[in-house]
Structure 1
Amino acid sequence: MALRERPKAVSLTDAAAARVKSIMSDREKGFLRVGVKNGGCAGMEYVMEYVEAPEALDERVADKGVEIVLESKALLFLLGTEIDYETTALHSKFVFNNPNQTDACGCGESVTIIPVKEA
């Protein structure tokens, strides 16, 4: 019996995958790591950083030809999130479409996220 593929913790849009490919092509090795941290007026902020290798409990996600790493302690806050990359006349940035996000500050730099409850 074949095992079904496990659902991805997060997904990337085509635009986000293209941007990750672009920024990682300049690096010889490593990963883009996504997480959250306490901060901002709404309570939490999304963070992205370069790492040489995932930590032992980090979640590796492959989608649309790229691989990113999710910080283990942020996983319950990020489940179901779609990461997009948006370009307008005034800015270019990654955008997190997170079903667990309940609020955001006026400037859009911080969010309120409720972790997924265990089933």
Structure 2
Amino acid sequence: MAITLSPRAAHRVKQFLEQRGRGIGLRLGVKTTGCSGLAYVLEFVDQLKEDDQIFETEGIQVIINEKSLVYLQGMALDFVKEGLNEGFTFDNPNTKGSCGCGESFHV
């Protein structure tokens, strides 16, 4: 199973990379935090690390380290705008539940 970006998410990532003026792709990861245990991490990548896995989707390189891949395998990332709010959404088939505020999840 791969990691996928919707066309809207890929377009937004391309815009961010262009505004930054550098970067080879988008890193997706997880960190331990919140009331449910894990939270998503998004950051731009300028240099690959030894344990990085690369997925190409919609013309974007999505980079995930081996540790996070277990939690993110099969995930789809989208970008939505609702009124004045906008942001990335995560459709993760591995998630078993999340906290009430939506900041963290567990598998």
Q: TM-score, normalised by structure 2?
A: 0.91
What RMSD, in angstroms, separates the aligned Cα atoms of the two structures? 1.3
Which amino acid in 2 is paired with 1:18?
Answer: H
Higher strand share: 2
Q: How many residues align?
A: 106
* Residues 1:44 and 2:38 are matched in the alignment: yes
Q: TM-score, normalised by structure 1?
A: 0.82
Distance 1:90 1:44 in 2: 27
Aligned partner (choices 104, 107, 111) of residue 101 of structure 2: 107
Q: Specify the alignment match of 2:7 in structure 1.
A: 14
Which secondary structure state, in structure 2, belongs to the residue aligned with residue 61 of structure 1? strand
* Residues 1:54 and 2:48 are matched in the alignment: yes
* Residues 1:82 and 2:65 are matched in the alignment: no
Deviation at 1:42, TM superposition (A): 0.9
Distance 2:55 2:20 in 1: 19
| Greater gyration radius | 1
Q: Specify the alignment match of 1:23 in structure 2.
A: 16
* Residues 1:64 and 2:58 are matched in the alignment: yes
Bigger relative CO (Cα 8 Å, ≥ 6 apart): 2
- Long gaps (5+) in structure 1: 1-6, 114-119
